Structure 1
Amino acid sequence: MGGGGGAHSPFDIFESFFGSGGFGGGGSSRGRRQRQGDDVVHSLKVSLEDLYNGTTKTLSLSRNALCSKCRGKGSKSGASGTCYGCHGTGMKVTTRQIGLGMFQQMQHICPDCRGSGEVISERDKCPHCRGNKVNKEKKVLEVHVEKGMRHEQKITFQGQADEAPDTVTGDIVFVLQLKEHPKFKRKVDDLEMEHTISLTEALCGFQFELTHLDGRHLLIKSNPGEVIKPGQCKAINDEGMPQHGRPFIKGQLYIRFKVEFPVHGALSPEQCGTIETILPSRSGKKLSDMEIDNCEETTLHDVNMEYEDRRRKMQQHREAYDEDDEDDDEPSMQRVQCAQQ
């Protein structure tokens, strides 16, 4: 009969699926599929100055590397035998009885070959790694922290983690951890800070020197005749954080002003009178003696609103708890009334 090639035997079909090693993965090590090695993750603490200016940190790490003498074989001859304890699977199964007619099977790494499925005779072990196939080595890495990088951003060194036979080496990953700065707070590509000025500076003007994250000295001053209100924010363009990948583009620097008022009793009646002649007149109308006599006099006192908020919340919880108790008592009261009827 005409046609394209002869019929394939069942063994050819299985070979196309499983390779020349046959069933059970018992073929040569060259046909064995490599597993993916684990990544090694390290935290790297950085300051806000590091992220603003960029920096390079040199770190020394210890890792497993394939033995250079035996090239990860573990033996002088390059050969190894099948572990009799696990029959080359690298795993052992143990069975234990947990009840009448009930058994439990547990799988664990073979202690004889430590999961490799292979054993090497003492005489054939590589003298350099003693049959372990890997040796400890020191590795020095230069971690380049680029301008504008962010908290928890990752810097990856591909294929630099622990090496192992028949394994694709994983990565070393550094995760940036930003330390808190005493002056600035980062918000995306912007910087925020607080600055306290006196009441005189808020009314009559101020100027101060600010040392930036790169060591530059900035002169910050108010506009002539400008009054700064407590909590007011001002912004300076292009003095925030540099954008990652575009370091010449920067965000804004926000300054929130806190106004420090004179302490109680710091102003004498004469000083108050002098200030009143300069400032705008009072907004409220002046009460007559008759209107004052018709009013009940009150006394203002200082209060901690955070404490008051906590007290009110506790009171609400207590009232809600009492209402739940009342609702639980109502059915029992109704039953008592029905019984009396």
Structure 2
Amino acid sequence: MANEKNLYETLGVPKTASADEIKKAYRKLARKYHPDLNPGDKASEETFKKINQAYEILSNPENRTKYDKYGEQWQYGEQYEKARTSQQQTQGSPFGGYDFNFGSSEGGGFEDILSQMLGGRTGRRRSHPQPGQSIEQPVDISLEEAASGTSRLLSFQMQKPCETCGGSGAKDKKICPTCQGTGINPGIERLEVKIPAGVNTDSKIRLAGKGGYGQAGGQRGDLYLRIHVRPHEKFERKDDDLTVNVPVNLTTAMLGGEIFIPSLKGKLALKIPAETQNGRTFRLKGQGIPHLGKDGSGDLLAKVSIVLPEKLTDTERDLFEKLRQLRPDS
């Protein structure tokens, strides 16, 4: 448990540590104790959980402030303090006379109050369901996968319901010793997702109810896949159109002919008319990227790049000399 020590001690930093210092310490320890680097080592796995739990709290400025003020019961301290100041009646406390003396040996202490609220007179936790947070997960795919659609088996770390208390935060009418009352613990989520054809870089795919777990019976948040399409060595994409440079030799450009050009569906025949100029672009309808969520596809733009002959023979040179005489201004 991250709170057996002190969260700062767990990460090996002083209480005055900056956010950057906390992050650096966390990354260093996470690399050292990550389960993938210590297969089968239960001690490292447990330490990794403690490190993540500590960082989860201290990396959040609001939660860190609460932890510094209330200690290991930081989630409940503010709630009880508000209850005392806003709901207190003329006859005793709103919690049936429980004393809000934090740390005092006189009267009911903070631990006693929490224990009673979790399973004493009330018989249930006085907490409202809180929905889980939305999570954004980057997914890297190729241009071919963007055009045809694909799937990915994702594996990422997230807070999951505590197995000891079933996510309630309480065990045997006391604070759960595993999750310290949070109802959650760090875990690995594995999920197979489908990516539709037509996605582009920065496209977001929403998977409802696949995000962070809620607390106190709250619904799960959403998972958002943020897509990144890797650049292609041949094709340049703009919206759903693709552009490809196609080399055309001089004689074909001058006299016309047929060439074959690459596409995501294989080679396509393209007729080159006579006297085609360098840089001319031909549009092949429907040979681009499928429209996301709609029928049809973008176009393929074939841009001509005329290739001049090299290492001319004497005969070829003579012919070009004759052409120059015939067309001195060319």
Query: TM-score w.r.t. structure 2 length?
Result: 0.55
CA distance in structure 1 between the partners assigned to 2:190 and 2:131 by the alignment = 23
Q: Which residue of 1 aligns with 2:247?
A: 196
CA distance in structure 2 between the partners assigned to 1:284 and 1:181 by the alignment = 40
| 1:274 is the counterpart of 2:293 | no
Q: Deviations over 1:21-48 (max 9, x none)?
A: 7854777776645555432222111111
Residues 252, 272 of structure 2: 8 Å contact kept: no
Q: Which residue of 1 aligns with 2:188?
A: 138
Q: Which residue of 1 aligns with 2:10?
A: none
| 1:158 is the counterpart of 2:253 | no
Of 148-157 and 31-40, deviating more is: 31-40
| 1:55 is the counterpart of 2:150 | yes
What secondary structure does 2:171 align onto? coil
2:298 to 243, 251, 254: 251
Q: Which residue of 2 aligns with 1:242?
A: 290
What secondary structure does 2:279 align onto? coil
Report the AA paired with residue 304 of structure 2. F
Deviation at 1:68, TM superposition (A): 4.3
Report the AA paired with residue 280 of structure 2. Q
Tell me, which stretches of 5 or more residues in structure 2 are unaligned? 1-82, 88-93, 96-116, 118-123
Deviation at 1:170, TM superposition (A): 2.8
Percent of aligned positions that are identical: 24
Distance change >3 Å, CA 258–CA 59, structure 1 → 2: same
What secondary structure does 1:242 align onto? coil
Distance change >3 Å, CA 218–CA 150, structure 1 → 2: same
> Larger relative CO (CA 8 A, sep 6+): 1 or 2?
1
Deviation at 1:194, TM superposition (A): 0.4
Residues 161, 172 of structure 1: 8 Å contact kept: yes
The structure with the largest alpha-carbon Rg is 1
How many residue pairs align between the two structures? 214
Report the AA paired with residue 61 of structure 1. F
CA distance in structure 2 between the partners assigned to 1:145 and 1:178 by the alignment = 12
CA distance in structure 2 between the partners assigned to 1:23 and 1:147 by the alignment = 56
Residues 161, 185 of structure 2: 8 Å contact kept: yes
CA distance in structure 2 between the partners assigned to 1:75 and 1:220 by the alignment = 71
CA distance in structure 1 between the partners assigned to 2:278 and 2:213 by the alignment = 60
| 1:219 is the counterpart of 2:314 | no
1:149 to 199, 211, 217: 199
Q: Which residue of 2 aligns with 1:310?
A: none
Higher helix proportion (structure 1 or 2) = 2
Report the AA paired with residue 270 of structure 2. I
Residues 131, 215 of structure 2: 8 Å contact kept: no
Distance change >3 Å, CA 280–CA 257, structure 1 → 2: farther
Residues 134, 164 of structure 1: 8 Å contact kept: no
